[in-house]
Structure formats: C-alpha cells, structure tokens
Amino acid sequence: MGKTQGYQAVPGCGLQCTVTQIDGVLVDIDLEGVNNRKNLMGSTKVMTDNVLFDGEEITATIEESSLVGAVASKPYKVLIGNREWMTRNGLVVTDKMDETMTEHEHLGQTAILCAIDDNIVAMLAVADTVKSEAHLAISVLKDMGLQVVLLTGDNQKTARAIARQIGIHKVFAEVLPSHKVKKIKQLQKQGMKVAMVGDGVNDSPALAQADVGIAIGTGTDVAVEAADVVLIKNDLLDVAAAIQLSKKTVRRIRINFFAASIYNLVGIPIAAGIFVPWGLSLKPWMASAAMAMSSVSVVLSSLLLKTFKKPSKEKMLTPKYYAKFAADQELDNISVHRGVESLPSSREPSKQGSIISRLSGKKKTPSPDHTSLLEMNNMSDSDSSDI
C-alpha cells in the first residue's frame, strides 16, 4: 500500500501531500476490471479528458493515463483542490480547464483539480444529490413567512445551480465553518431569530451558535450533539413540521397559563372568604376539588397536542406549488455572495447556548469577533454578484 507524508489541508482551498510506495499498486491494478466495473447503474467506460503530461494535452483511457510516466519507485507530490489552490502552488489553470470546470459547476457539481509533480493531470466533479423534497420544504418554510438563506462551502457557480433547483434566492458561497458562525451572529445582531439546519461536522459550530440548531438524525455525531433539535428521519419536510409543532406547543402553553391565571384569580378570593358577606363561600373539600380540576384541565388541554398530524407530502403537492416550482426553475433572480457579507452591527449581543439557558433569560457573553482573511479580502474588493 502507498504511504503519505507531509499532509497539509487548507479549508476552502485544497490539500497536498507526498505519496510513496505506489509502484506496486500501479503494476498490479486490474485495468480491465476498472474500465468495466459494474454498479447499480450498470457498466461504465471510465474516460479521462484533457490529461496533461509533460506540458502536453492528450485524451486517454484510464489504462493509458495511469501508466503515463510510470518510472522507478519515487515520491509523488500530489495536489488536490480548486483553482485558487493550484494558483497558490504556482500551477497554471488553462482556459480549457476553466471552461470544463465551469460546465460541471453550472450543473451543480463541484469541480476539483488534481496535480501530480506540479502537472495538472485530472479534474474530478463531485456533487451532493439534492433531496427530492428539498424544494417543497423550502416552499413550505417561505409560506410560513420565514426567510431562507443557503450557506455553503461550494463555489459560486455550483451554489447558484443548487439554489435554483431548491428555490432559494439568497446564497452565501465559499463559506468556511467559522464564516457560518459569523453570518449567524450578524443576523442575530440585527434582532433576527436564526434557525440553522445542518448535518455535517462543518455545520456544528453554526448549529451551536444559532437560536435553534436543527440536525438531521442521519448526520454526524458532532452535529447531533451541537443541535437543539434532532430529526429522526432523513426528511427535510420534518423541519417545517417541527416548527409547526413548536408553534402549536407554545400557543398551548400560553392558553394553559391564561386559563390557570383566570381560574386562580377567581377561585383564590372565594376560597379566602372575601365574598362571605355576600353569601358566596367554598368549603374546604370544594376548594380541594376545584384545585384538582384546575390541574386536570391543564393536563387535558396539553393532551390536545397529540392530535397534531404532520401534513402529508401529497397534500402539499398542490397546483399552486407546481406553478411556483416551474417559476423558480425559469427565473434567475438569485443573489450570490462570496464569503460573509458585511452587515450593520448593533449592540444587541448574539444568543448562544442551550434551550434551558434561553428560557431562563441568561445570555452568554459574546466572544470577540475576529475578521477572517477571506472577509478582509471581501471588504477590499466586491466579490458578490446579484442577478
């Protein structure tokens, strides 16, 4: 097996390392099996386009490109990352490479360049499958009066393509984990209540910072631990259902509190004998029964929450929704920003902590907010584009 040394990774850019002891792997590889591998989609011929070797561009199948330049055992310097990462390491991304990457990015895929010994030899296109219910879930959240924003580490072209598919009109692309926290703090300083939905390790700081962190149950353990609400099923529609259930719960709490207050404001003076001169009084057993009925009525009122049923997907797929879906696919009014947009600050501290600390009214002292290198670059030049 191969061995890696000098591993270095830069968030938002790429990684580099030195690979050794792979000559045996290159010799023993089953090239015919690779080119004729079978999966659930069937047999696929693997092709590599625009292979670069010794500065010349060629087109080859995987068996040719894997054997190009095979020499005696030696270390190989490997670079994997985006355009910026290649430029930082002194490599030139040609116009043809950029054009090929752009084509994939417009399809919602993240294009990654691979270089060996300072020669760019391959381009990989990676994409997360958009959940089938994503657009419907976003539409339901918008109908509830919520503003939905996409924070992603993908580049701007990929983020724009994904946002168009799911119906989000405001996107912050190329966002690092610390930048997600920064953005949430900015929104909180504006007096907004922020709910963050995520499932990855990079989402965990933002989940902890948000007023309500919602994690997908199938996500990483770190995200689940950092979130306030964990959705058991891998269904984005449960986000809207959780918000609807929470609103009904809060409303029921207020109704119970109001009913109990009225009950006690009327019952306590009677039990204290204030109205005895007018012939209105309660015997001890009557007061005990009335107090028990108060508790029972509150419990029965709370049990009405069990009648809540999550709206079915079939009922949400109305003609109005289909019309909205078609309009979102045609319109191109997506606002894409790079990094974190500078927002006016306020003196209101950001809210962070557990549900108990929020209910108790205690606020944590906000930590100093340091401006990152990417944000400083954004302040010097305008990298955001509005359409």
Q: Which helix (H) or strand (E) holds 337?
A: strand 335-338
Higher pLDDT, 12 or 341: 12
Dig out the tokens for 179 from the structure. Answer: 């930048």
Angle at 154 between CA 153 and CA 160, to 5 degrees: 125
pLDDT of residue 346: 39
Residues 99, 122 contacting (CB under 8 angstroms)? no
CA–CA dist 218, 325 (Å, integer): 27
Closest CA relative to residue 130, chosen from 103, 113, 154? 154
Top-ranked range on mean pLDDT: pick from 29-38, 313-322, 354-363: 313-322
One-letter amino acid at 80 equals I
To the nearest whole number, what is the mean pLDDT of the chain?
A: 75
Is 56 in a helix, a strand, or coil? strand
Give Dmax over CA atoms of the chain in angstroms. Answer: 110
Is the full-model pTM beyond 0.75? no
Residues 192, 210 contacting (CB under 8 angstroms)? no
Using 50, 70 and 90 to split pLDDT, how confident is the model at 78? very high
Rounded to an integer, what is the distance from CA 22 to the centroid of its chain? 37
Q: Do domains 3-126 and 130-387 have the same CATH topology?
A: no
pLDDT tens figures, 274-325: 777 777 777 777 777 877 888 888 899 899 988 888 888 888 888 888 888 8
Closest CA relative to residue 380, chosen from 342, 349, 353? 342
pLDDT tens figures, 128-173: 778 888 899 999 999 989 999 998 888 888 888 888 888 898 898 8
Residues 267, 275 contacting (CB under 8 angstroms)? no
Which DSSP category does 2 fall into?
-
CATH classification for the domain delimited by 3-126, as one of 3.30.230, 2.60.40, 1.10.3470, 3.40.1110? 3.40.1110
CA dihedral 381, 382, 384, 385 (to 10 degrees): -130
pLDDT tens figures, 226-257: 888 988 888 889 999 999 999 999 999 999 99
Q: Where are the domains of the chain?
A: 3-126, 130-387
Dig out the tokens for 275 from the structure. Answer: 């109205």
Q: Terminal CA-to-CA distance of the chain, rounded, Å? A: 49
pLDDT tens figures, 188-223: 998 899 999 988 888 888 899 999 999 887 777 888
Is 331 in a helix, a strand, or coil? coil
Phi, psi of 236 (to 5 degrees): -70, -20
% the chain with pLDDT above 70:
74
Using 50, 70 and 90 to split pLDDT, how confident is the model at 45? very low
* Whether pLDDT at 359 is above 60: no
The domain at 130-387 falls in which architecture? 3-Layer(aba) Sandwich (3.40)
pLDDT of residue 211: 92
